[in-house]
Amino acid sequence: MAHKTFNLHFGSGIVAEEAQSSDEYKTSTIQLLSFTEGPATGNLAIRFCYYSHRGTFQRSPLILDESSIPDLRKEIRACPKLHALLSRLVD
């Protein structure tokens, strides 16, 4: 399966890992971005975003309802690099 890609003004690359949880409004998504081109080459970043139920990427901020947390936590634990980086955020 091909990786999802991204292109930002400071670099582009692949979505190395992705955790998702769906509710009636959206698919909440936390992505581990791996930069492969541009000034940010070699760096990792975390993107908090969401998709419509039609699969369209949404450019608004991610708002998580507390009922989404258990499913999203389970998904994050299945993404070892993303989990490790997010753990550094809260430790």
Segment 78-91, tens digit of pLDDT: 999 999 999 999 88
| Residue 56, CA distances (Å) to 43, 46, 49 in order | 26, 19, 11
Structural domains counted in the chain: 1
At position 6, the amino acid (one-letter code) is F
Confidence of residue 1 (pLDDT cuts 50, 70, 90): low
Q: Each residue of 10-59: pLDDT tens digit?
A: 999 999 999 999 999 999 999 999 999 999 999 999 999 999 999 999 98
The predicted structure's pLDDT at residue 84: 96
What is the Cα–Cα distance from 80 to 45, expressed in whole angstroms?
14
User: pTM for this structure?
Assistant: 0.91
The domain of 27 spans 5-90
